[in-house]
Structure 1
């Protein structure tokens, strides 16, 4: 089994291109596929789990114009799909997109997530140009800007019907998942 980003399966959803690190994963996956070794690849949308990594002094900053909807997944959903793929003949040599069941903007997803996870956390939207004022070195700032530019251009649509048929639908939505996490884990 191998995990990659949704962009490796559906590049057309990424209007501003993709993050360059995907080439490393794709090369490895190509070798596995060509080797004849049975495989199951999972191509994941954005993980809601990562919202907790953005917290700084009870604030989360989202950069750019993030108006497209995304089908956020989470670690529990991925684990569920992996569990259902093990010893499942239908899952051999398959490429599964992993998405949540609801399309929602980054801002609305973050607001819903933190309402359940820790209501003291506020979510702010800032222009991408603000990254230049964070005091990061130029490489870090450039990479961070590139990530948010890719997010700005992610026009995701639901492509996980077959995944749901073979491996099951998600058991939790964004708010329910957030409420299961320990709110003090980032302290």
Structure 2
């Protein structure tokens, strides 16, 4: 049962690590898109690596936040340069690093910390494929399959994903709904 939006949610360090590892795993496929556009810019890779290091047991530190901010600057630069696929790939990296800082507040916006990396990676892959929505849906379906039970359990404590966010927001809500749907028996 989801708590009301003024309450806090119990989150253990193992759960935060699982969410960050999931986010890093979902963001990584889009990294090649960014690096093809900006081969000398390691900021998004560093953000994903920092999220994975945290997932693997490293301390949750300012270095993770710094890597997220650096990847955010890479996102802004590619956005401003009209490199839309690379821009969403960088946003996926920002979301991966930010997953380590999921807040225990029962707010729909926190779902972006859990699923944002997958949604932005899906959008980057879509854009890279000529804005083919099937490519994004395929990534969302793979991301749903990657979600460990602990990630789904954490997600279930939060309200449904918020509205808005353009196509990446649509992909986020699709993944959110998929993970909240009870499994069908065979």
Establish whether TM, by shorter chain, passes 0.5. Answer: no
Which of the pair is proportionally richer in helix?
2
TM-score under structure 1 normalisation?
0.29
Which of the pair is proportionally richer in strand?
1
Which structure has the larger Rg over C-alpha atoms?
A: 1
TM-score under structure 2 normalisation?
0.29
